[in-house]
Amino acid sequence: MLNISFAMTSDAYADGTKTETRRFWKPAHAAKFKPGTVFMGITKDFRAGGVRMHPARVMECYRERLGDMSGYSFSAEGGTRYWANRAAYIAMMGGPDNVPWVLRFEHLQNATNQTSSGMNEPIKPGDRFQNGVMLTTDEIMWGSIQTVKRLTSDGKPIYRAKWGKVDKIADHWRTPPNTEREGRA
């Protein structure tokens, strides 16, 4: 799962009011954020002590000149909660002629997550997720799996990620990915 740091605006992301972010990404990195992609919002870089908040799903990712940003987009970025006005935000981002990537997203629920069978279930320690979808025991697949380590006092999950080892999917078995490295048997 991809992570996005919301260091400056983590409060707005955590409470669900932030639904857009503007980033100066390389095109190859921005290409990872296709509509439907699920990412994890984090408070800041993990190397600086950041923690996971909750997942969100990409609605769209495109480039837009800062000078063309609407008042609605300014509000979706965090608005006057963090900057005096739209002009102050644009100046902080380097001026109206800069063209960052705009990532619009929707927050996935904190207290419940939808399983692939479509049922909403409360999150509890030990639950596993892949790409933002809660996994049941018969649908675990190879790849990065996020396990709920514990819940905060307000019910938000704290995740632990690791590479999954079980490979049964829908009553048939998959060959695990090749994990051999060059020079090792």
Q: Phi/psi of residue 58, each to 5°?
A: -70, 130
127 band by pLDDT with thresholds 50, 70 and 90:
low
Cβ 85 vs Cβ 78: under 8 Å = no
What is the pLDDT, as a whole number, of residue 168?
37
Q: Phi/psi of residue 129, each to 5°?
A: -130, 145
Cβ 1 vs Cβ 144: under 8 Å = yes
**How is residue 115 annotated by DSSP?**
B
What domains can you pick out in the chain, each with its CATH number? Answer: 2-107 (2.30.130), 112-173 (no CATH)
What is the pLDDT, as a whole number, of residue 35?
92
CA neighbor of 81 nearest in space, from 173, 181, 8, 6: 8
Q: Is the model's pLDDT at 143 over the cut of 80?
A: no
Cβ 63 vs Cβ 102: under 8 Å = yes
Q: How far apart are CA 44 and CA 64, in angstroms?
A: 25
139 band by pLDDT with thresholds 50, 70 and 90:
very low
Q: In this predicted model, what pLDDT tens digit does every residue of 9-67 receive, in sequence order?
A: 988 998 888 999 999 999 999 999 999 999 999 888 888 888 888 899 999 999 999 99
Cβ 151 vs Cβ 125: under 8 Å = yes
Q: Is the model's pLDDT at 170 over the cut of 70?
A: no
Q: Maximum CA pair distance of the chain? A: 60
What is the pLDDT, as a whole number, of residue 166?
39
Q: In this predicted model, what pLDDT tens digit does every residue of 75-99 receive, in sequence order?
A: 999 888 889 999 999 999 999 999 9
What mean pLDDT do residues 153-163 have?
61
Cβ 133 vs Cβ 139: under 8 Å = no
111 band by pLDDT with thresholds 50, 70 and 90:
very low
